[in-house]
Chain A
């Protein structure tokens, strides 16, 4: 069984500063994908970034990067130069890529508030 843990229920950051949102996972699968989604107060779920378990480099998408430490089973999201519009819930998810049901498991989320 897979498990995703997001230990930070809420985070605060000053505008223009960087922030790291933690995500640890537990799986017996050797091949898996890790996803981060953003949910603003309007409610929609927005895909941010993907990291495959066999990817040698950390994923980056604009101001988002993923600090992937496979041995520690962590996939932390780093947001650089925070903006007020980054205030939202952030969810980490994992999906096996081989030999499984391919169904994602989500963490409980972290609420990020960006202060001006």
Chain B
């Protein structure tokens, strides 16, 4: 059982380049999330999705776009990368919010550096 899989695991970009991070989950979870983790800042929510075809902004959405065309996949795009987007990115998934005691399941993270 793979759980939540993120690709790639590492990436170095130049300022202005674009890229897409892929998240795939095999647990039939309705909710999916993208976070960024920076030292001392904890996990900050970028965008999330409560179901196929729906997305919503989180705490720090600027500079990112997302799409959820299939239930199992959640893509995070950087259209024009900036050094401030250097971070570790985590994808997570979970059952519907009413499933009260169900935790989020996280991928292993993507370490992204913008030069």
Contacts and interface: CB of A to CB of B under 8 A. Distances in A.
Contacts of A91: 42-43
Interface string A92-106: 010111101111101
A103 B42 contact: no
Interface of A: 6, 9, 33, 35, 37, 43-45, 47, 50, 52, 91, 93, 95-98, 100-104, 106-109
Interface string B77-98: 0000000000010101000111
Given A35-B103, A43-B108, A45-B106, A102 B98 contact: yes
Give the bracket for the number of chain B residues in contact with chain A: 20 to 34
Contacts, number: 58
Given A50-B101, A97-B100, A102-B96, 13 more contacts: A33-B101, A44-B106, A45-B106, A47-B104, A47-B105, A52-B101, A91-B43, A97-B97, A101-B50, A103-B48, A103-B58, A106-B35, A108-B42
Nearest to A43: B109
Contacts of A37: 103, 106
B97 to A, nearest CB: 2
Nearest to A31: B100
A58 B66 CA distance: 38
